[in-house]
Amino acid sequence: MLTRIDHIGIACFDLDKTVEFYRATYGFEVYHSEINEEQGVREAMLKINDTSDGGASYLQLLEPTREDSAVGKWLAKNGEGVHHIAFGTADVDGDAADIRGKGVRVLYDEPRTGSMGSRITFLHPKDCHGVLTELVTSATEH
């Protein structure tokens, strides 16, 4: 069962400049940052609030580390902006299987490692009304 909006992913050309915008404009601070070599991104998670299920909601700022990454290709085509929305779940495997059973394409056969040690998978945007959708089980939930 999906329990929260885990994060909204925002693609950007310059992570440091974008972090500074969100800090100066809204007061959001970096909660976590990392480089995900597999996905070809440098990212910063800005914590917005805690949630009633023990999780949190974040903005995830994503800067590609290489042009051929999914985010790099997306930026080249679309420019900066909202890249995806992620829903939190205690069981990414089970929810992905349930959603696949409803005819929605799940992009990974097996969940992969995401931010902060989470387990993630994505749903095809053409099956989700044009929205790239991520399912996330945080490291504290698995």
7 is catalytic: yes
Asked whether residue 142 carries a pLDDT value surpassing 80, the answer given is no
134 is catalytic: yes
Confidence tier at 21 by pLDDT (50, 70, 90): very high
Confidence tier at 31 by pLDDT (50, 70, 90): very high
Catalytic residue among 39, 60, 63, 83: 60
Per DSSP (E only), the strands in the chain are 2-11, 30-36, 41-50, 56-64, 81-89, 112-113, 119-123, 133-137
Catalytic residue among 29, 32, 84, 110: 84
60 is catalytic: yes
Write the pLDDT tens digit of every residue in 93-129: 999 999 999 999 999 999 999 999 999 999 999 999 9
In this prediction the pTM is 0.93
